[in-house]
Structure 1
Amino acid sequence: MSLRNRSFRVLLIFGICQVGRWGLASASEMEEQPEKIAIIGGGIGGTGAAYFLRQEFGPSVKIDVFEAGTVGGRLATENIRGHDYETGGSIIHPLNLHMKHFVDKLGLSTHDVPTKLAIFDGKKLTFDEGLKSSRMQKWVEGILSKFMRIYQYQQSGYSFSSVEQLLHGLGGDSFLTLINQTLEEVMLADGFSQVFINNVVTPLSRFAFGQTADLTALVGAVSLACADSGQWAVDGGNKRVCSELLSHTKAELIQARVTDISLKMKPSKSGTESSFYEVIYVGDSGPTHSIYDIVIVAAALHEGLSDISFSGFSPPIPSHFPGHYHHLVTTLVMGQVNTSYLGIDQYLADFDVSDIFTTDNEALAFNSLSSVDPTRLPPGYRRPPASESKVWKFFSQEPLSEEQLREIFVSWEGVWEKRWLAYPSYSSSPHPMPPFILHDRLYYLTAIEWAASCMELSVVAARNVALLAYHRYHDQTDKIDREDLHTRLREEL
């Protein structure tokens, strides 16, 4: 049975059984539910956490989502001449079952993202050679098949207390190797040539994560999956999933910046003291605070991305964990590309390449160049040929200069630029993973990004943290960090 066919079986189980724990809970369990939960961050991780926390804890719990910017986070769009274009997370893999469940549950429409890939070395384009390598696809599928176990684990209510425990649960020690060795090291050991890595693997990793094949192997596998067919996106923009999740879960959006989370104590019904958390935040009307039983941090606790302090904790919780996020520039250009710059002499009307990845060449100003469609396709829409002005998207390390634009384009009508701290810098000497559990009922969802960064992994972490919060609240330790899950659940099926 192929990986794709197995995924449909998993999806069937996943879709039929996607119900909250509280639907089967006893009255006494319902009485023991927390009163208020705070989520810091309104991206796909935070809004996904709101959805899963509602499933686990039920309709009576008040869920507040704090977001100082725009709901969606790094799922963002830019409006150009009346149409929106993706500037952040733009494509969703066909095996991303959580994201598929969300769009089905929310009634959102989607569209395929057709691709024709090429690699540019600074002189000429190479079309599709190697990018569809059956050997590389099998290598990626071997990793994805282990990752797919997470859906079965989560559907059965199991959770993990750390990123390392989660990865070990998926594939044992071999999966942990993927976060401790580089993509280049692992692929060379598996028999791939250095030439293939330089000419095919590196262009894909530069497109997905702005780094060469010296990033960690698990992140590299995610980047190689970008070459798979069947990619899709949400009509109107992928960020719609986030806003619709908030509405669906009846979570309250608080548009404010959280500045401090403090530990407080209060007497419990049993006569002992229990902890709770004071969240201090600044909105339009100035600083204020609220009290919560559980807090989920779905923002990055790293320099340049947040300045949340943690007060009253022993041992202390750092405001910033080690490591830094990778600087990325997204540039949208409406213009007519200069195909001679790309080293081709095709008639422009026949040039239908959608994505151009680049080799590691210092002379190249960009990591990738893509022809992009609006997030909502008008009736009768067709992608304009290269002979017409259309929107192109660049990923680059630095802003593109006017001189560089003149070299790449025959003419252009407008340039729109966005600078990001987009994802972690995945070093070959990785830092220890940040923890999921910061304190008794204080969780850090974004820790997952130090394994790899994509929409689906953020949602995997959201469900894991929701399950973890539920089990720890109800002292259900048998549902956390079970080592024999794969064998156990396989026998049950």
Structure 2
Amino acid sequence: MSAPRTIALLIFQLSALTLFGPVAIRSDEGLNLEDDNLPEIAIIGGGIGGTTTAYYLRKLFGNKASIDLFEAKQIGGRVSTVVVNGREYESGASIIHPRNQYMVNFTKLFGLRKREGHSEKLAIYDGKKFVFTGSKFNIATMAKMFWRYGMDVYNINSWVENILDKFERVYHHLEDGIAFSTVEGLLESMDASFVDLTKKTIREVLKEDGFSDLFIDELVTAGMRVNYAQGAEVHGFVGSVSLAGALPGLFSVHGGNRLVPERVLQASQVNYLPAEVTKVSLVRDHNNNVRYDLSFQHSDLPHGAEPMSVTKQYDVVVIAAPLHKRVSDIAFSGFPKPIRYAQEEFHRTVANFALGSANISHFGNYGMGDFPTAILCNNLDLFFNSFAQNTPVDFSSERDSMESEKGSVWKVFSSTPLSEEELSQLYEVHSKTSVVDWLAYPEYTPTETLPSFVLYDQLYYVNAIEMAASAMEMSAIGGRNIAQLAFNHWHGLFDKIDEIKDAPSHETPTSDKDEKKTEL
């Protein structure tokens, strides 16, 4: 069980939305979608965004389109697992909400089942003491929250529901074949106020709406730290996503969430190349049409083999990996002007897994049975963000217990690697340590500008959406949007780009009868 799942005991949750159905591929203006004028497409990156893009490009362009997907490491990207004591644990994106419709529908489509959970006891730690301690019983935890935070615990639900009522509109637009060329346009399609949320902090947004400092300093800040390793100074939109992602009902996939992008890629029936793309070069064909040369090196070479650069040409290129010098180092050449994209700083996150027992005495006078199983920190100066018991991706309550004679597996989130002295403050004893150190998401400060999904003609950037918020569902939305955008551009459906004629009604949920008609 992960600390992000634990914050489900706090308050809220990112829901979204009526079930998303099949893309309606229409013959607009006499368009013949069965013709042979199909693009050769390259996708760089095999995470949620890249595999979702591949899936919907295949749905839109059909089986005859040539689609290559490049991924130098593992499929899933930041959705990955780590092995501790012979069992796998989620090391990256760890939770899905039952109303995150892209992710949920993929799990249903591929027959993936939910992983079992277990009862947890949540606490918020300020570096000296637990300012809030919950219970293994949800009702008791909520009663304690009302006692400490008053009506803010109740009011945040209405606040989040208002956000979600607006957020869900993007699903209707995408289902109608509308695509967005900029992140700002995509947010505006939900509600114009969402762009304003990116220009101020979540602290400012909540204060304006009447929430108390105590609520923000403890519950909200603890949530931001466990989800984004940052505080209440993140911008308001990503803060809203974080707040909306924490109500009961969160789940993970049995066997690991990485199974979702793996199965999505298989269903896409694209050509998967285990290779690293090093350069994207703009070229022109004999008719002066834009094309791209991709230079890449295979990453699955036999031991000792010399890497050799290969070049292949494409009509459409989709970059589905962060364009950050410490994440992906892709060079661009042949363009009339330098390719410009968001030069955001990415936040370093370290996940430290160890088999052992918590150092209860470090946190106060507690008995083993009273000690929290998930500790979230609201003090930005502490060396760790969260400390929680975890269950393996194949956890079964009938077979597994949380404690063994060797202890249990705990995961610590921090912003830098932990020293032995710091580990000793958290663990009484520990062994079987495994560390995952990666750049997980952008630094989310208020911004006056949001990036474009279009880097150049027929050159797209899925991860632009991360400047709004980084989450599995957001990446899936980004991939779905890019697939529709590339399709609309290729077929000249410009009236379906950034043009919202009539806002669809979103007040009536999809009926059971309607749900039976909708599939991925």
Give the TM-score normalised by the residue count of structure 2. Answer: 0.85
Out of 154, 161, 182, the position equivalent to 1:162 is: 182
Partners of 2:191 and 2:123 in 1: CA distance? 33
Alpha-carbon spacing, 1:7–1:86, altered in 2? closer, same or farther (3 Å): closer
Out of 121, 143, 153, the position equivalent to 2:173 is: 153
- Which residue identity lines up with residue 235 of structure 2 in the other structure? T
1:196-235 alignment runs, 5 A limit: 196-235=215-254
In the alignment, which residue of structure 1 is the partner of 2:517?
none
Partners of 2:175 and 2:194 in 1: CA distance? 21
How far apart are residue 94 of structure 1 and its match? 2.2
What SS does the aligned partner of 2:76 have?
A: coil
Partners of 2:125 and 2:507 in 1: CA distance? 45
In the alignment, which residue of structure 1 is the partner of 2:161?
141
How far apart are residue 387 of structure 1 and its match? 8.4
In the alignment, which residue of structure 1 is the partner of 2:137?
none
**Are the equivalent residues in 2 in contact too, given 1:329–1:395 (CA < 8 A)?**
yes
Partners of 1:22 and 1:291 in 2: CA distance? 29
Partners of 2:352 and 2:203 in 1: CA distance? 29
Partners of 2:37 and 2:411 in 1: CA distance? 47
Give the TM-score normalised by the residue count of structure 1. Answer: 0.90
How far apart are residue 378 of structure 1 and its match? 4.1
Partners of 1:295 and 1:369 in 2: CA distance? 41
How far apart are residue 381 of structure 1 and its match? 3.4
**Are the equivalent residues in 2 in contact too, given 1:20–1:55 (CA < 8 A)?**
no
1:7-86 alignment runs, 5 A limit: 10-11=18-19, 14=20, 17-19=21-23, 21=25, 28-86=32-90
Partners of 1:52 and 1:34 in 2: CA distance? 15
How far apart are residue 233 of structure 1 and its match? 0.8
Q: Does 1:464 align with 2:470?
A: no
Alpha-carbon spacing, 1:23–1:72, altered in 2? closer, same or farther (3 Å): farther
Q: Does 1:127 align with 2:133?
A: yes
Note the alpha carbon deviations across 1:309-350, whole angstroms, 9 max, x for none: 1111123214x642210111111111111223232524x245
How far apart are residue 123 of structure 1 and its match? 2.9
How far apart are residue 165 of structure 1 and its match? 0.4
1:184-203 alignment runs, 5 A limit: 184-203=203-222
Question: Moved runs in structure 1, 4+ residues, more than 6 A?
Answer: 22-27, 488-491
**Are the equivalent residues in 2 in contact too, given 1:122–1:361 (CA < 8 A)?**
no
- Which residue identity lines up with residue 84 of structure 1 in the other structure? E
In the alignment, which residue of structure 1 is the partner of 2:456?
439
Q: Does 1:328 align with 2:349?
A: yes
Alpha-carbon spacing, 1:249–1:361, altered in 2? closer, same or farther (3 Å): closer
In the alignment, which residue of structure 2 is the partner of 1:306?
328
How far apart are residue 214 of structure 1 and its match? 0.5
Q: Which 5+ residue runs of structure 1 have no aligned equivalent?
A: none
User: Kindly, what percent of the aligned residue pairs are identical?
Assistant: 37
How many residue pairs end up in the alignment?
474
Q: Does 1:341 align with 2:356?
A: no
- Which residue identity lines up with residue 290 of structure 1 in the other structure? K
Note the alpha carbon deviations across 1:56-96, whole angstroms, 9 max, x for none: 11011121111111111101111112210011001112221
Q: Which 5+ residue runs of structure 2 have no aligned equivalent?
A: 1-11, 135-143, 302-306, 511-520
**Are the equivalent residues in 2 in contact too, given 1:163–1:433 (CA < 8 A)?**
yes
Partners of 1:397 and 1:233 in 2: CA distance? 24
How far apart are residue 485 of structure 1 and its match? 3.9
- Which residue identity lines up with residue 154 of structure 1 in the other structure? L
Q: Does 1:357 align with 2:376?
A: yes
In the alignment, which residue of structure 2 is the partner of 1:95?
99
How far apart are residue 227 of structure 1 and its match? 2.5
Out of 288, 292, 297, the position equivalent to 1:277 is: 292
Q: Does 1:293 align with 2:298?
A: no
| Cα RMSD for the two superposed structures | 2.6
Alpha-carbon spacing, 1:414–1:483, altered in 2? closer, same or farther (3 Å): same
In the alignment, which residue of structure 2 is the partner of 1:242?
261
How far apart are residue 469 of structure 1 and its match? 0.5
1:469-480 alignment runs, 5 A limit: 469-480=486-497
Q: Does 1:374 align with 2:392?
A: yes
Report which structure shows greater RCO (CA 8 Å, sep ≥6).
2
**Are the equivalent residues in 2 in contact too, given 1:299–1:306 (CA < 8 A)?**
yes
Partners of 2:465 and 2:482 in 1: CA distance? 10
Q: Does 1:384 align with 2:399?
A: no
- Which residue identity lines up with residue 223 of structure 1 in the other structure? S
**Are the equivalent residues in 1 in contact too, given 2:45–2:71 (CA < 8 A)?**
yes
**Are the equivalent residues in 1 in contact too, given 2:165–2:506 (CA < 8 A)?**
no
In the alignment, which residue of structure 1 is the partner of 2:418?
400
Alpha-carbon spacing, 1:198–1:25, altered in 2? closer, same or farther (3 Å): same
Q: Does 1:111 align with 2:115?
A: yes
Partners of 2:106 and 2:27 in 1: CA distance? 19
Partners of 1:29 and 1:377 in 2: CA distance? 46
Note the alpha carbon deviations across 1:268-314, whole angstroms, 9 max, x for none: xxxx5321111111124510011111110001111211111111112
